[in-house]
Structure 1
């Protein structure tokens, strides 16, 4: 009888242990499921990353809400540190990141194909770094594709988004676009101006260089809408530098927006009289790394590239096929050289956006024989 009692107690103890273990496993499963549900968009975004080539160049589709409306509602950001603070708390779940825009020696222009499609060309010149095409589709905004230099997010030869853990920082990519096109046919590119940083100080909400691009791509269908948007905010340059934007839309309209002494200056093709610019009455224009706003300036670079582009546009009265636009980008691209920071620099990507088809043709690292084509309609 005593042995039976001991056996019975032992059996009950084992059952209790088993039940406890089952309960713990169930709790763990529920916790994992809860975390997976909570981070489902982030997980799906990271899982969408694809490596296109070995330069390397990646693509990513951002799933879910990256909080641009919340960013504006809480006052925006007047500097990179404030932007990073928002991104860390709202996208990175507290994980630290850096966003830094160094010297950008770039070129942009718009043109029209023989079929009447508006196109927008852009060279992005910088020291070597991986790049990423980012797809976004906000619930309250336009879907877009935009190019991001991953070096601004801390990536490089020793760190690439090739694993789930190393890819987490790419969740900040929607806040670091440098050029792009949206489903309404609006395109924008940003270029460096080597002068005092823009630092507007009024009672308007604050934005930085890349958040301005994000807002234009998300909220604007036309150049006029983009200008109205920019006038609603105080602009603060990223990385203690100054920048200007070229903006174009599917109607063929285009402007260059500059900030001179913290005042917004808007130029259309008729306003530009810089040497090499075609005669007034055209519907196209170009920009590199010097101010187009009339005045006496002793700063800025890229006049040689500007001349190549404007002469190429002038020779055809602004009519270029997408292939010809890419050839013009190749003609003004930069071969490897040592830049002002003592770093080897070259054209990292050349992209031709078709604003009517909302598509992009991209050449990475001056490899114009192997281009990547993508469309928002896919």
Structure 2
């Protein structure tokens, strides 16, 4: 009887080892990804090194996603293994600009303004794309001040972080940031690839080496704006190119930076026939004056000072909630580095590099 029990226990142990090994083989990269999560600032900013395949190529090959719900279904089925998720992208106000250092480095500055949200610096290195670092608003994944990715179980939803990035830079020195426009949501409906606001940005970061490649990609896809809102984008690259992307009556508009010119953006449209529609003219004027006075030449710290000058901390007229800058980031598109500040704490700068 004792021998039988021992054999049974050894058999159960062997089965358990096999199950654990199989689980590790199936989900090893996801486990490594979740285990990489670190808290980098007490304001609620985290970092993650994405080791798993987040399925962008599969999403694109399947035709993409024409709504947030379709993107959620893809993420739930392919990244979260069936765990429920609901995207909730809130209204936000932002500022972006391009500058150049005395040494010739091209910079891209960005403020993300909203009521309090936790955030995550996301490093990705896909097999069939460019490595990148981006900053994600993980409140979209259900995180808040009371629920943060502080342990393995609570970190599982962070597997969807690549699809909720709001700005970023890839290893080729291409950067992009999205800014809200209070207008009818863009819904392009042709026979092209369908992507939502954030999945389009992920596609561009993974596949575009420069601004012109990104423009061509956008010309060959249908944009479906997320969260029943409208957006425009500023893009910049390591060669000094910059362009603003807007959608007017569902038509793509490209406003390229003039040779030897300057480009910056807030939350109003700059296409000539609708110029001024939206908000942020006061911040735009500060960006314009500072960049013009300095002929577009700013150091990384001077660029962060400019982001501080246009940062926000006020009560929103629309929602009655506090609107404050949740993060400021200066991407160095030449060196492929970033300086990041969380929660307007400009005395504490987080430095990140794409160097492998």
TM-score in terms of structure 2 length? 0.98
Larger Rg belongs to:
1
Residues 36-73 of structure 1: CA deviation (Å, up to 9, x unaligned): 22110110001001111211111100002111000011
User: Where does residue 172 of structure 2 map in the other structure?
Assistant: 184
The separation in 1 between residues aligned to 2:324 and 2:6, in whole angstroms, is 64
* Correspondences of 1:18-57 after superposition (within 5 Å): 18-57=6-45
Matched-pair contact (CA < 8 Å) for 1:41–1:64: yes
The separation in 1 between residues aligned to 2:77 and 2:65, in whole angstroms, is 14
> What SS does structure 1 have at the residue aligned with 2:93?
coil
Matched-pair contact (CA < 8 Å) for 2:241–2:257: no
Relative distance call for 1:297 and 1:184 in structure 2 (3 A) is: closer
1:350 corresponds to 2:338: no
User: Where does residue 313 of structure 2 map in the other structure?
Assistant: 335
1:360 corresponds to 2:338: yes
User: Where does residue 62 of structure 1 map in the other structure?
Assistant: 50
TM-superposed deviation, 1:344: 1.6
Q: Please point out which of 197, 208, 214 is paired with 2:202.
A: 214
1:265 corresponds to 2:253: yes
1:376 corresponds to 2:354: yes
User: Where does residue 309 of structure 1 map in the other structure?
Assistant: 287
User: Where does residue 5 of structure 1 map in the other structure?
Assistant: none
TM-superposed deviation, 1:295: 1.6
Unaligned 5+ segments in structure 1 are: 1-12, 271-280
Matched-pair contact (CA < 8 Å) for 1:363–1:370: yes
Relative distance call for 1:339 and 1:28 in structure 2 (3 A) is: farther
How many equivalent pairs are there?
A: 356
1:78 corresponds to 2:77: no
Q: Please tell me the root mean square deviation across aligned C-alpha atoms, in Å.
A: 1.1
User: Where does residue 130 of structure 1 map in the other structure?
Assistant: 118
Moved more, 292-301 or 168-177: 292-301
TM-superposed deviation, 1:297: 6.3
The separation in 1 between residues aligned to 2:123 and 2:219, in whole angstroms, is 26
1:120 corresponds to 2:108: yes
1:318 corresponds to 2:296: yes
> What SS does structure 2 have at the residue aligned with 1:39?
helix
Matched-pair contact (CA < 8 Å) for 1:100–1:238: no
TM-superposed deviation, 1:296: 4.1
Matched-pair contact (CA < 8 Å) for 1:290–1:299: yes
TM-superposed deviation, 1:318: 0.6
The separation in 2 between residues aligned to 1:371 and 1:213, in whole angstroms, is 25
> What SS does structure 2 have at the residue aligned with 1:264?
strand
Q: Please point out which of 127, 135, 138 is paired with 1:147.
A: 135
TM-superposed deviation, 1:99: 1.8
The separation in 2 between residues aligned to 1:344 and 1:184, in whole angstroms, is 37
* Correspondences of 1:217-296 after superposition (within 5 Å): 217-270=205-258, 281-296=259-274
The separation in 2 between residues aligned to 1:98 and 1:359, in whole angstroms, is 32
TM-superposed deviation, 1:269: 2.6
The separation in 2 between residues aligned to 1:58 and 1:125, in whole angstroms, is 18
TM-score in terms of structure 1 length? 0.92
Matched-pair contact (CA < 8 Å) for 2:210–2:237: yes
1:91 corresponds to 2:79: yes
User: Where does residue 9 of structure 1 map in the other structure?
Assistant: none
Matched-pair contact (CA < 8 Å) for 1:258–1:293: yes
Residues 63-89 of structure 1: CA deviation (Å, up to 9, x unaligned): 021110000111111110000000000
Moved more, 332-341 or 203-212: 332-341
The separation in 1 between residues aligned to 2:317 and 2:64, in whole angstroms, is 33
TM-superposed deviation, 1:283: 3.2
